[in-house]
């Protein structure tokens, strides 16, 4: 009987009478308090990094916020002033390209998994592959796009480009969008589909007019979270979208993004660049936290 360690009794007095009131001096109660305190300390340690990171990003980045930050481009190394206007636009543009690719593909794939085939070997394979794809390191997605888009110059003979970066981010978003679509659709009551078939709707009409709209909330929540995650990704962009110190003119040339800007400027030995990295972190973190709160708000709408 190895599991008695927390319960103390000896065999002769197994049914010893004990008062019912709580005695804090018993070994079991002291142990209980000890473990509760340890868990509480662990929880405090788990929460601490978020508070510290938010505090520093808001303090260091917040004091640098000005109009110039949004309207100017980064200064050359060694010079002061300047802003990150091109990187803000770049992040929005690259994330938009990724979203435009990942949402149709992901929602379509999710529809197939939930509505057409959830038991066949192919659906099982796709579903398993989706979980594996979700675990592929983000840098590998960059290597993949570097191999098929950048070195092959597949888009109008351009190598590094905003489109390449968008594709790399789309690869990362895809598993999340498929998973949330599939799970959202599976929550739709079967009766709704039967009702639609009963009044003579075809499968296509049922899916697009009945099933998909009723699963809108969970899908939208997942999509917003996927977009927020993609906006902060850096690793897939370093050698696909690269970086550019200028204003963007088209989507087929290298493009600046806030995440790559933070990476490049954080490791530079110049004060001005480091400060721009903090300012970019401030804007990026605010955007991502806002998206997360938006996602929570959307998912709360459904419960009302």
Partner 1 sequence: MNSNQLIEADAFTLRRRPASEKLIDLGFKQLTLLLASAVAIVLLGIFLTVFQGAREAISSFGVNFLITSSWDPINEQYGALVAIYGTLVSSLLAIAIAVPLGVGTAIFITEDLIPNSMREAIGLMVELLAAIPSVVLGLWAIFVMEPAIRPALNLLHILLGWNPFFNTVPQGPGMAPAVLILVVMILPIITSISRDALNQVPMELRQGAYAVGTTRWGAIFSVIVPAAISAITGGVMLALGRAMGETMAVTMIIGNALNFDLSLLAPANTIASMLANQFGEADGIQVSALMYAALILMLLTFMVNVGAQLIVRRLSLRY
Within 219-238, which residues bind partner 1 (CB under 8 A)?
A: 228-229, 231-235, 238
108 binds partner 1 (CB under 8 A): yes
Considering only the stretches 34-42, 77-85, 190-198, 212-220, report the one whose residues sit in contact with partner 1 under the rule CB under 8 A.
Answer: 34-42
The one among 239, 241, 255, 256 contacting partner 1 by CB under 8 A: 239
Long-range contact set of residues 116-124: C-beta below 8 Å, sequence gap at least 24: 118/186
* Under rule CB under 8 A, residue 176 binds partner 1: no
- Residue 113 is a binding residue for partner 1 (CB under 8 A): yes
Question: Contact between 49 and partner 1 (CB under 8 A)?
Answer: yes
Which residues fall within 8 angstroms of residue 76, CB to CB, at 6 or more apart?
Answer: 245
Q: How far is residue 223's CA from residue 73's CA, in Å, rounded to a whole number?
A: 31
Q: Which of 14, 91, 121, 23 is nearest to 283 (CA)?
A: 91
Min separation Cβ 280 and partner 1, Å: 9
Give me the phi and psi of 120, to 5 degrees please: -65, 165
CB closer to partner 1 out of 23 and 80 = 23
- Among 143, 87, 101, which Cα is nearest to 257's? 87
Q: Does 192 bind partner 1 (CB under 8 A)?
A: no
Nearer to partner 1, 251 or 258 (CB): 258
Q: Could you say which residues in the range 245-304 bind partner 1, by CB under 8 A? A: 259, 262-263, 266-267, 274, 277-278, 281, 284-285, 288-289, 292
**How far is Cα 247 from Cα 245, in angstroms, rounded to an integer?**
7
The reply on whether position 187 binds partner 1 by CB under 8 A is: no
Closer residue to partner 1 (CB): 67 or 241: 241
The pattern of x and - marking residues 64 through 93 that bind partner 1 according to CB under 8 A reads ------------------------------
Q: CA 188, CA 194: separation in Å to the nearest integer?
A: 11
Is 132 among the residues that bind partner 1 (CB under 8 A)?
Answer: yes
Which CB, 69 or 178, lies closer to partner 1? 178
Which of residues 58, 64, 133, 302 is near partner 1 by CB under 8 A?
A: 133
Q: Is 50 in the site for partner 1 (CB under 8 A)?
A: yes
Taken in order 155, 160, 162, 167, the sign of the CA dihedral is positive
| Cα-Cα-Cα-Cα dihedral sign, residues 148, 154, 159, 161 | negative
Identity of the residue, 188 or 277, whose beta carbon is nearer to partner 1 in the bound complex: 277
Long-range CB pairs of 274-279, under 8 A, 24+ apart, other chains included: 275/60, 275/64, 276/64, 276/74, 276/82, 276/83, 276/84, 278/57, 278/60, 278/61, 278/64, 279/61, 279/64, 279/65, 279/69, 279/84
Q: Which is nearer to partner 1, 267 or 301 (CB)?
A: 267
């Amino acid at each position: 009987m190895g599991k008695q360690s927390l319960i103390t009794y000896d065999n002769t007095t197994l049914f010893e009478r004990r008062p019912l009131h709580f005695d804090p001096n018993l070994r079991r109660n002291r142990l209980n308090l000890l473990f509760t305190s340890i868990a509480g300390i662990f929880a405090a340690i788990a929460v601490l990094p978020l508070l510290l990171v938010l505090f520093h990003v808001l303090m260091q980045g917040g004091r640098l916020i000005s109009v110039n930050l949004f309207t100017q481009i980064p200064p050359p190394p060694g010079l002061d002033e300047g802003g990150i206007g091109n990187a803000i636009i770049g992040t929005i543009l690259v994330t938009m390209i990724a979203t435009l690719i990942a949402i149709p593909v992901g929602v379509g794939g999710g529809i197939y998994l939930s509505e057409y085939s959830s038991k066949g070997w192919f659906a099982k394979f796709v579903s398993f592959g989706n979980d594996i794809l979700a675990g592929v390191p983000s840098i590998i997605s960059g290597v993949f796009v570097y191999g098929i888009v950048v070195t092959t110059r597949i888009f109008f003979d351009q190598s590094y480009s905003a489109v390449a970066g968008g594709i790399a981010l789309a690869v990362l978003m895809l598993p999340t969008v498929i998973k949330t679509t599939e799970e959202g659709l599976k929550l739709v009551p079967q009766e709704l589909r039967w009702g639609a078939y009963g009044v003579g709707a075809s499968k296509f009409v049922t899916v697009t007019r009945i099933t998909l709209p009723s699963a809108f909330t969970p899908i939208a929540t997942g999509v917003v979270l996927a977009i927020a995650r993609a906006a902060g990704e850096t690793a897939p962009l370093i050698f696909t979208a690269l970086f550019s110190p200028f204003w963007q003119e088209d989507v087929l040339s290298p493009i600046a993004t806030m995440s790559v800007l933070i990476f490049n400027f954080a490791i530079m030995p110049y004060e001005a660049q480091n400060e721009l990295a903090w300012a970019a972190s401030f804007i990026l973190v605010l955007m991502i936290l806002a998206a997360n709160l938006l996602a929570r708000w959307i998912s709360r709408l459904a419960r009302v």
